[in-house]
Amino acid sequence: MALLQISEPGQTTAPHQHKLAVGIDLGTTNSLVASLKSGLAETLADTQGQHLLPSVVQFQAKDEIGYKTIVGQQAQDNAANDPLNTISSVKRYMGRGLEDIKKHSIYHFVSEEGSAVPRIRTVAGDVSAVEVSAEILKTLKQRAIESLGGELIGAVITVPAYFDDAQRQATKDAAKFAGLPVLRLINEPTAAAVAYGLDSGSEGIHVVYDLGGGTFDISILKLTKGVFEVLSTAGDSALGGDDLDHTIVDWMLAKTGIIEPDASLLRVLLDKARAAKEALTEQDTTLIQIHLDEKLHSQSDKQNSWQYELSREQFEQLIQPLIKKTLVPCRRALRDAHISVDEIQDVVLVGGSTRVPLVRQIVGDFFATQPLADIDPDKVVAIGAARQADVLAGNKSDEDMLLLDVTPLSLGLETMGGLAEKVIHRNTTIPVARAQDFTTFKDGQTAMAIHVVQGERELISDCRSLARFELRGIPPMVAGAARIRVTFQIDADGLLSVSAKEETSGVQSSIQVKPSYGLSDGEIETMLKDSFSHAQDDLDARKLREEQVEAKRVVEALLAALEEDGENLLSAQEQHTIQQAIDELSEIAEGSKQRAIKLKIEEVDKITAEFAQRRMDASINKALAGQRVNDLHT
Ligand code: ADP
Ligand code: MG
């Protein structure tokens, strides 16, 4: 995969003094790209002047050139006529296994032999959620390049606070497929806070209430002297405007007597429902008209056209339970942050669904304050991401904005009896490292199976399995004598690595939950500090260092990957080719030619792309297989 070009210092083409970095809100329903223009963050429009890109991708049949995709509004318009090849709300499937997603989907999911990555069957072939998201990112990237007039050095991409490790990783993979370097993933509510915090500079406790198309997030933030701290987050990853649409569809189905709408009809009804809902934000009533094409639908023998009036009052009755449901996570977040309602300075509204008047009313009543919506709730996340991208790109040398984030779910280990022992509790500020000591269960035990899990529940079976690895070579001792220190480390992107070390003998073993990415805390800190403090004249040295760090990261990740999966997934010849590429990269990285290192990394990326894909499939496969570790002794 080709990395984007970075011009050498001094050769940068005027008028862009600073590096082009963008913020991307990769939404369930709509996606946006934003950037700083003359110091102001703004979302970028397409050639038709549209800022919101519907997150919809239509796949068309392959021809000699390959398959073609249509992304955005046109795809959304085509969805009703081609529902199975037109993928919307793909974000709901990111980093998910077949069982998680099949239930509520109209798409034809398949799981190929030897791979548990669910794929959607389309006329263009079977596509994964990551590939679909990559199409959206490619479109936004292209829009940004055209709008800003140059190549991008990278993007800050936002994800819901509730995204777990697999979902975050899938988002990074999508960016990789799109050829877009990720400067950082940040939580959507945090991005919104960045947008507001920097604009208004008001200090205190802020609540971010984000009701989008597919997800609900609540975050409690503390803002002091330009430093954000996320005190707590909570939410519901399956609640949003789509559910309001479904409520209206259910109402329509009950009225029409249609029992089982097919995919096309459902799409038509959902589009009608959404239009009605959005109309009711401005109006007191709206007219819903449904006409069925008789040849296509034989849903009802009696009738094929209906017309109903829906009032705002009726609509509010229908949706009230859903909106009230958002207050449950609100209470939980307040409790986690040890904040009472009267300590809250303001409530920021994010997400298109917060335009619904009933939402504003219920949120306002609950928090006993008039919620803020100064910045367009559709755009505020992208705008905050753009600001953060600008800082990470190193364009703000005197800016001292440090973003503190929290881990949304607890992380821990399986212990005897199928219990989960938490090592890092949810809502811990990241990056973070925590260690905990464990011991052996049996006399003479020489190995230990480490099973890393994520979740709040006590039983392993209720938590999400993230990774497994073994610590071998523990000297035989009586049970309870060995001292095994397990260290969890979460980097600034929220990605986890775990290591285990037997203290008396020093044997150790480790796993990066997603080994091919993720810098260590130290490296990220260095890069962040660099981006804050380096002046223009240091650019050369810094670029070289970053490239060297990147090379080292690539080499280390590949060596780890080879060791772990080389034998299983590669032929001897393939292993040899990759090893050779690693050796060459290590050698070049010792030198001081930044561009040569960069080109070599690109080459290595290309050579290893297939391997990365196979590993991803295999690891998801393994996670899904859900084999239980027998127990913690051998
Ligand atoms: P996401 O973050 O999930 O991509 P957005 O923040 O773009 O979503 O919000 C999309 C949701 O907002 C959709 O369900 C859409 O119908 C809803 N929405 C947009 N405008 C309005 C409006 N004027 N009134 C009510 N809902 C709206
Ligand atoms: Mg959103």
Q: Which domains does the chain have, with CATH numbers?
A: 18-239+326-406 (3.30.420.40), 241-322 (3.90.640.10), 411-531 (2.60.34.10), 536-624 (1.20.1270.10)
Mean pLDDT of 547-564: 84
Sign of CA dihedral 83, 85, 88, 89: positive
| 542: helix, strand or coil | helix
User: Which candidate, 393, 391, 386, 388, places its Cα nearest to that of 539?
Assistant: 393
Each residue of 256-312: pLDDT tens digit?
Answer: 888 888 877 888 899 899 999 999 999 999 999 988 765 455 555 567 788 999 999
Q: Are 484 and 438 in contact (CB under 8 A)?
A: yes
Whole-number mean pLDDT of the chain? 81
pTM score over 0.75:
no
Question: What's the pLDDT score for residue 145?
Answer: 93
Each residue of 244-265: pLDDT tens digit?
Answer: 999 999 999 998 888 888 877 8
Binding pocket residue ranges, ligand 1, CB within 6 Å: 27-30, 212-215, 240-242, 274, 277-278, 281, 351-353, 355-356, 378
Q: What's the Cα-to-Cα distance from 249 to each of 260, 281, 290, 351, 359, rounded to whole Å?
A: 12, 17, 11, 21, 20
Question: Which of ligand 1's atoms lies nearest the C-alpha of 241?
Answer: 14
Among 56-65, 69-78, 481-490, 625-634, the range with the most confident prediction by mean pLDDT is 69-78
User: Which candidate, 412, 437, 409, 431, places its Cα nearest to that of 423?
Assistant: 412
Q: What's the Cα-to-Cα distance from 381 to each of 135, 185, 369, 526, rounded to whole Å?
A: 20, 12, 22, 26
Q: What's the Cα-to-Cα distance from 112 to each of 116, 122, 170, 617, 632, rounded to whole Å?
A: 7, 14, 18, 10, 32
**DSSP tally for the chain: helices H, then strands E:** 16, 28
Q: Which of 91, 138, 379, 543 is catalytic?
A: 91
Q: Which two tokens stand for residue 161?
A: 């606070």
Q: What angle do CA 325, 328, 331 make, to 5 degrees?
A: 145
Q: Are 452 and 511 in contact (CB under 8 A)?
A: yes
Q: Which two tokens stand for residue 277?
A: 């809902």
Each residue of 4-45: pLDDT tens digit?
Answer: 333 333 333 334 456 899 999 999 999 999 998 877 889 999
Q: Does residue 334 register a pLDDT over 80? A: yes
Q: Nearest bound ligand to CA 351?
A: 1
Q: Characterize the bridge pairing of strands 154-159 and 125-128.
A: unpaired
Is 188 assigned a catalytic role? Answer: yes
Q: Characterize the bridge pairing of strands 227-236 and 432-438.
A: unpaired
Distance, in Å, from the CA atom of 399 to the CA atom of 30, rounded to the nearest integer, reads 31
Question: Which of ligand 1's atoms lies nearest the C-alpha of 277?
Answer: 25
- Which residue's C-alpha comes closest to atom 18 of ligand 1? 352
User: Which candidate, 271, 318, 268, 321, places its Cα nearest to that of 293?
Assistant: 268
Q: Which of 19, 25, 172, 598 is catalytic?
A: 25
Distance 361 CA to ligand 1 centre (A): 17
